[in-house]
A and B are shown apart, each in its own frame.
Chain A
Amino acid sequence: MYQPFPPDRSQYPAKKADGTLDIDLTSGKYLKLWQGPNHPGITGNMSVELTVCGDEVVEGKTHVGYLHRGFEKLMERRTFIQCFPIVCRICVPEPDFNEYCYAAAVEELAGIQAPERAHWIRTLILEMGRINSYMMYLGGQAGSLGQGVIGQWTTYVRDLMLDRFEELTGARIYHMFILPGGVRDGLPDGFAGRMEETLREIESILKDVYDVMFCNAVFKARTVGMGVIDPAWLDEYGVTGPNARAAGVAKDMRKDHPYLVYPELAFEPVTGKDSDIYTRADVRRRDVLVSVDLIRQIMAKMPMDGPLMCAVPNVLHWKIPRGETYIRGECSRGEYGYYLVTDGSGYPRRVNVRGPSYTHAMALLERMIVNISISDVAALMVSLHTYPPEIER
């Protein structure tokens, strides 16, 4: 078990009667250190205010708000179809979950049903996005420990997948493809063959990543036994996704609350045992292989003809009766959900986005960051796989 500091906790600040830490900054024993908002060891536009004693972090507070664009408020002033090109911007590396959850919530409240073929294409897109997001993570996790080359390899295969996105949707990052009522288009000619080539390249690169990153002695020394999430914390802190699966709990919304065509696909949630940084990285690496397999199944089983959109009312005058619903999906970070409230008008009354990073990067990170070394903060933060835009929406 990796122990950054000896078990003697005498340096650790005592607690005051009200439960807050007794940190006297004027004593000269402690130092405030900001990691972020502009720092190579931070995940996106956020910052962590660290209080350190020597090398040891005694308190960490997450600060967000550098990327607040007020999406939820913006959407209250826009018609249902005008919200559709906005939602994808809430999460940059994996925008499709926003589109799917928003579209499904609108469909449910409006009482329309997307056609079967659209469900298959939606599932395909969500799995492609998942691979992209994991590839970004693997590069970041290796980079946080000084292995730059892994990021270059994973960016290469991510780029191949972006090419597939481009030919399917016309865009590389924000696809705006899954709209209420269905999807915009079917697969282009020869897509299956090019997708298969991409999948083979991903598998081949992942083998290299395994050899160079996961078998690397330094990577193991820095990550095994480091940043453990106690399974008892999962409910307390709302931990979902690979962070929960690495702790041995097979929480996967694709199985727990099946949506789209997942009931027709064969797969098992990937779980780990040790719940440390290494296990979380390994769970995500194996999850990529599951996604690769799912894409192959989808390509083989998908109906090649049929409608892509159902009949939708005139979107300029689309009024949806009063109601509320919650739609969720399993994104690469955990449970992604949209809570949509309508009031009978042509505008949403309230849209609330439940991003998994909201709990992971705030309450959970602040708890886990205590008593680790400054040099491990970046690795720990990346291992929770958080994207700040979905915290502040």
Chain B
Amino acid sequence: MTMRELYDRTKALFPLGELIEQRSGGNNDLVFVTVPAAHLRATILHLRDKEGFSHLVLLTAVDWLEEGQFQLTYLLNNRQQAYDLGLRVMISRDSATMESIHDVWPTAATYQRELREMFGIDFPGSPRIEEEFILEGWNDIPPYRRDFDTLKYAQEKFSERPGRKTHDPETHMRQQLYPDMSPTGK
């Protein structure tokens, strides 16, 4: 079985997007496919039960801020065939909600808790989804979103250590190495 055959078989059942072969050279064992959010659960159950993709490697999100979308990546692994299949689901950034798959893989609940906290993507019904995972008392926008400015946050929240100086690397190094030269380098 090649990934192309698997893709053709699965595409007959579900409206899959284009097949992206990551390692198109000799070792073609990682592919990515886009799935509409509404068909994700059915696709995952089919792949898990009929095609041997029984291991959820990871579940994570990518923020495509410019396109106004989150990409959720469900990476599944078929150990017998040594294949990896990344299912990509594009959801809107404004109403970031996705169906939970904690009943398919109990371990997905942890990933979903993290995604809710770090990206603000909600998974209604996922166990303990409301509980804080890593952050404590966070009241800003979710920190792993691209529009969260880490520098601005740090400057607002924390005070500078007294006596600390910030140098411009170029002028500082020039002064260190060539103290006789004027700061502009002339």
Contacts of B57 in A (CB 8 A): 238, 326, 328, 335, 337, 354
> Are A257 and B29 interface neighbours, CB within 8 A?
yes
A69-83: CB near B (< 8 Å → 1, else 0) gives 010111011000000
> Are B55 and A238 interface neighbours, CB within 8 A?
yes
A341 to B70, CA, bound (A): 13
Q: Among B82, B86, B105, B150, point to the contact of A326 (Cβ < 8 A).
A: B86
Closest approach, in angstroms, between the C-beta of A154 and any C-beta of chain B?
30
B143 at the interface (CB under 8 A from A): yes
Given A64-B133, A73-B143, answer yes or no on A237-B107 (Cβ-Cβ < 8 Å).
yes
> Are B150 and A238 interface neighbours, CB within 8 A?
no
Contacts of A235 in B (CB 8 A): 54-56, 105
Given A65-B135, A326-B57, answer yes or no on A70-B107 (Cβ-Cβ < 8 Å).
no
Q: Which of B50-75 contact A (CB under 8 A)?
A: 54-58, 60-63, 73, 75
A257 to B75, CA, bound (A): 15
Q: Among B79, B143, B148, point to the contact of A251 (Cβ < 8 A).
A: B79
* Smallest CB gap from B80: residue in A: A256
B89 at the interface (CB under 8 A from A): no
Closest approach, in angstroms, between the C-beta of A165 and any C-beta of chain B?
29
Given A256-B82, A339-B73, A350-B63, answer yes or no on A70-B143 (Cβ-Cβ < 8 Å).
yes
Contacts of B32 in A (CB 8 A): 324
Q: Among A238, A251, A350, A367, point to the contact of B105 (Cβ < 8 A).
A: A238
Q: Among A72, A237, A339, point to the contact of B106 (Cβ < 8 A).
A: A237
A162 at the interface (CB under 8 A from B): no
Residues of A in contact (CB 8 Å), total 37
Closest approach, in angstroms, between the C-beta of B8 and any C-beta of chain A?
22
Contacts of B160 in A (CB 8 A): none
B144 at the interface (CB under 8 A from A): yes
A352 at the interface (CB under 8 A from B): yes
Given A257-B82, A335-B57, answer yes or no on A359-B62 (Cβ-Cβ < 8 Å).
no
> Are A363 and B135 interface neighbours, CB within 8 A?
no
Q: Among A238, A341, A364, point to the contact of B56 (Cβ < 8 A).
A: A238
A176-220: CB near B (< 8 Å → 1, else 0) gives 000000000000000000000000000000000000000000000
A159 at the interface (CB under 8 A from B): no
* Smallest CB gap from B29: residue in A: A257
Residues of B in contact (CB 8 Å), total 35
B23 at the interface (CB under 8 A from A): yes
> Are B86 and A363 interface neighbours, CB within 8 A?
no
Given A238-B56, A339-B73, answer yes or no on A364-B144 (Cβ-Cβ < 8 Å).
no
Most buried by A among B55, B84, B107, B144: B107
> Are A236 and B58 interface neighbours, CB within 8 A?
no
A161 to B22, CA, bound (A): 37
> Are A325 and B30 interface neighbours, CB within 8 A?
yes
> Are B133 and A65 interface neighbours, CB within 8 A?
yes
B16 at the interface (CB under 8 A from A): no
A392 to B133, CA, bound (A): 9
Q: Which of B32-63 contact A (CB under 8 A)?
A: 32, 54-58, 60-63
Contacts of B134 in A (CB 8 A): 64-65, 68, 392
A363 to B108, CA, bound (A): 9
Contacts of B106 in A (CB 8 A): 236-237, 363, 367
> Are B136 and A326 interface neighbours, CB within 8 A?
no
A309-326: CB near B (< 8 Å → 1, else 0) gives 000000000000001111
B10 at the interface (CB under 8 A from A): no
B110 at the interface (CB under 8 A from A): yes
- Lowest 4 A-B CB distances belong to which pairs? A65-B134, A352-B60, A235-B54, A350-B62
A-B pairs with beta carbons under 8 Å apart, 25 shown? A65-B132, A65-B135, A68-B134, A68-B135, A70-B150, A72-B144, A73-B148, A235-B55, A235-B56, A236-B105, A237-B105, A237-B107, A238-B56, A238-B57, A238-B105, A326-B30, A335-B57, A339-B73, A352-B60, A352-B73, A354-B57, A362-B107, A363-B106, A363-B109, A363-B110
Residues of B within 8 A of A (CB): 22-23, 29-30, 32, 54-58, 60-63, 73, 75, 79, 82, 84, 86, 105-107, 109-110, 132-136, 143-144, 146, 148, 150
Instruction: Using A235-B56, A350-B62, A362-B110 as known contacts, list a sample of 8 further A-B pairs with CB atoms less than 8 Å apart, ordered by residue number in A.
Output: A73-B144, A257-B29, A326-B57, A339-B75, A349-B62, A350-B63, A362-B107, A363-B107
